[in-house]
Amino acid sequence: MTGLSVRNLSYAYGAKPALNDISFNVEPGVFCALIGPNGAGKSTLFALLTRLITSRTGTIEIAGHDLGSHPEKALGKIGIVFQQPSLDLDLTVWRNLSYFAGLHGLSGQAAEASIKSALDRLDMAERTHERVRNLNGGHRRRLEIARALVHSPTVLLLDEPSVGLDAAARRAITEHAHDLCKTHGMTVLWATHLTDEISADDQVVILHKGQVLRNCPCHELTRDKPLQEAFLELTDQGT
Amino acid sequence: MRASLLALRAIVIRDVLRFVHQRSRFVAALVRPLIWLVVFAAGFRGAFGPLTPPPHVTPISYEMYILPGLCGMILLFNGMQSALSLVYDREMGSMRILLTSPLPRWWLLVCRLLSSTAISLLQVYAFLLVAMVFGIHIPLAGYVSALPAVFLAGLMLGAFGLAMSSSIHQLENFAGVMNFVIFPTFFLSSALYPLAQMGESSALLLALCELNPFTHAVELIRFAFAGHVNWPALAWILATGAVFLGITFRQYTPVRSLR
């Protein structure tokens, strides 16, 4: 069963196309970096993958569930970290997570165990009763990743999760996401502008002008040049 | 079914906690109608003379006359406040967390509506308690019989707020809503004066008042305070509430590309 499958997906804002017939798969246990210049269609793709918007053209399958025909089943399998922060600043870390657990049908001891486990995994246990407003940017991001893991999803979607973080925090969450693939067999789709977050074994999907320009392992792009250079050349930004 | 109820509980707890943290909102919700009840009523008491609105058969004080209207005012403001909160959630991103939950979208919106109505109920009964301290009270049974009326009126006005929220795209636009929605809705109703007096001034204004769902919310509560059911008002509230909810469901459907 494929972790994430996108087939012939198109989307347009009125007459302006944003995505044009894109297809790619991400297998379980694979970290897939989605890279593309501004306006490439990454945000539109994330909005479609999370069903904030829908398209009549193409299909999206998440852990074997068609997002169009079985949205509740498919959405139950994904953990999402949006680019824009989405925490309740006036509630505590625990309250933020228990709200999310409730939205995903978890309660009582099951919710408590899942929340504790997610916080432990992200080294956030000691912050449990702090108000989110008092956390720094790195901790807030880690909390958002912990939240995305509370309901034990099989697919993790992260839309530029490292934006605004310092180098250490960026490295920590990138390593953690890679670790989730290796140790939990999770499917990760990680949208980014920053090529240093991508490892040689990762799958890379380059999106450009609403189309998939490359879909291959990172090391295939970096045989004779760094990824950043290869990416700029492919997207005509190198000169 | 269980998952749906757990989501409802999670949303209600979150909204109540947020409300508790915003103490100024709670104080404002109490002080606003109290000023009308204590100050405004003192000034206008003499202007209207004895009032005998249905279902009453003997004259009542002006304070007693405006009590249901002020309960309606709390519901109206809270409905708009929850709309504001929804616009805020949308701008701050937390709305995405709600909308990407594995539950039907219409149910998630109903959960938001029920939770804002629960908060409205708390505010209305807190206000009635304070009004009692000021010597303005209804028969004890009226507090019980008013509960379903206040709840239904709260649902309708909450649905009105939700429908509004879908067309307000920025927080800054909310000041406009205050001026162009809340005040006309409140003043074009039977909250502060009997509609007959409005009719003496203008037939058009009277017609607008009679169409205004808020008028019917106030009358439903007025009748319920006296242990009666105002069936036409109830029907109007259910019908308009369903329309507002329908608009909300439609507006919050995922935007679909035509391609």
Looking at the complex, does the CB of residue B20 fall below 8 Å from at least one CB of chain A? no
Tell me the count of A-B CB pairs closer than 8 A.
107
The number of residues in chain B equals 259
Relative to beta strand A65-66, strand A59-62 is antiparallel
> What is the secondary structure of B163-204 as a DSSP string?
HHHTT--SGGGHHHHIIIIIHHHHHSSSSSS-HHHHHHH-HH
**Inter-chain contact A73–B103, Cβ cutoff 8 Å?**
no
B193 C-beta neighbours (distance < 10 Å), count: 19
A122 C-beta neighbours (distance < 10 Å), count: 21
**Inter-chain contact B96–A10, Cβ cutoff 8 Å?**
no
The minimum CA-CA distance between A11 and chain B, rounded to whole Å, is 6
Q: Is the pLDDT of residue B23 over 80?
A: no
**Placement of tokens 């009032």 in the chain:** B51
* B94-122: burial string, b at 16+ Cβ within 10 Å, e else: bbbbbbbbbbebeebbbbbbbbbbbbbbb
d(CA A157, CA A38) in angstroms, rounded, equals: 18
Looking at the complex, does the CB of residue B6 fall below 8 Å from at least one CB of chain A? yes
ipTM score for this prediction? 0.86
Least confident of A26-30, A136-140, B85-89, B226-230: B85-89
d(CA B189, CA B220) in angstroms, rounded, equals: 13
Q: Which residue of A has its CA nearest to B257?
A: A55
Contacts of A98 in chain B (CB under 8 A): 10, 13
More confident residue, A22 or B41: A22
pLDDT tens readout for residues A193-217: 888 889 888 999 999 999 999 999 9
Window 38-77 of B, Cβ < 8 Å to A? none
**Inter-chain contact A103–B98, Cβ cutoff 8 Å?**
yes
Q: Which residues on chain A place their C-beta less than 8 Å from a C-beta of chain B?
A: 10-13, 17, 50-57, 71-76, 78, 80, 82, 84-88, 90-91, 95, 98-107
Ordered by start, the domain boundaries in chain A are 1-77+154-239, 88-152
Question: What topology does CATH give the domain A1-77+154-239?
Answer: Rossmann fold (3.40.50)
Nearest Cα to Cα of residue B113 among B20, B249, B1:
B249
d(CA A23, CA A60) in angstroms, rounded, equals: 9
Q: What is the mean pLDDT of residues B84-88?
A: 80
In single-letter form, the type of residue at position B46 comes to G
Nearest Cα to Cα of residue A28 among A60, A63, A59, A61:
A63
Sequence-distant (6+) residues with CB within 8 A of A207 are A22, A34, A35, A36, A40, A41, A42, A45, A213
What is the model's pLDDT at position A25?
Answer: 95
The number of residues in chain A equals 239
Q: Which two tokens stand for residue A238?
A: 């190198």
Q: Is the pLDDT of residue B171 over 70?
A: no
More confident residue, A169 or A177: A177
Nearest CB among A12, A82, A107 relative to B6 is that of: A107
Q: Is A53 exposed, middle or buried (0-12, 13-18, 19+ CB in 10 A)?
A: middle
What's chain A look like in SS3? Answer: CCCEEEEEEEEEECCEEEEEEEEEEECCCCEEEEECCCCCCHHHHHHHHCCCEEECCCEEEECCEECCCCHHHHHHCEEEECCCCCCCCCCEHHHHHHHHHHHCCCCHHHHHHHHHHHHHHCCCHHHCCCEHHHCCHHHHHHHHHHHHHCCCCCEEEEECCCCCCCHHHHHHHHHHHHHHHHHHCCEEEEEECCHHHCCCCCEEEEEECCEEEEEEEHHHHCCCCCHHHHHHHHCCCCC
> Which band of pLDDT confidence, cut at 50, 70 and 90, is reported for residue B174?
low
pLDDT tens readout for residues A112-135: 999 999 998 888 889 999 999 999
Any idea what DSSP says for residue B14? H
Q: Which two tokens stand for residue A144?
A: 């958002």
CA A90 distance to own-chain centroid: 25
Sequence-distant (6+) residues with CB within 8 A of B242 are none
Ramachandran angles phi, psi of A39, nearest 5°: 85, 5
Q: Is the pLDDT of residue A102 over 60?
A: yes
Q: Which two tokens stand for residue B7?
A: 């989501």
Contacts of B93 in chain A (CB under 8 A): 82, 84-86
Relative to beta strand A155-159, strand A53-55 is unpaired
The minimum CA-CA distance between B83 and chain A, rounded to whole Å, is 17
Contacts of B101 in chain A (CB under 8 A): 75, 103-104
> Which band of pLDDT confidence, cut at 50, 70 and 90, is reported for residue B108?
very high
Nearest CB among B14, B92, B254 relative to A51 is that of: B254
d(CA A67, CA A51) in angstroms, rounded, equals: 8
**Inter-chain contact A107–B256, Cβ cutoff 8 Å?**
no
Q: How far is CA A26 from CA A75, A138, A181, A189, in A?
A: 17, 27, 11, 8
What is the model's pLDDT at position A225?
Answer: 78
In single-letter form, the type of residue at position B145 comes to S
d(CA B165, CA A153) in angstroms, rounded, equals: 31
Nearest Cα to Cα of residue B259 among A12, A49, A20:
A12
Q: Is the pLDDT of residue B258 over 50?
A: no
What is the model's pLDDT at position B169?
Answer: 67
**Inter-chain contact A10–B257, Cβ cutoff 8 Å?**
yes
Sequence-distant (6+) residues with CB within 8 A of A5 are A25, A26, A59, A60, A61
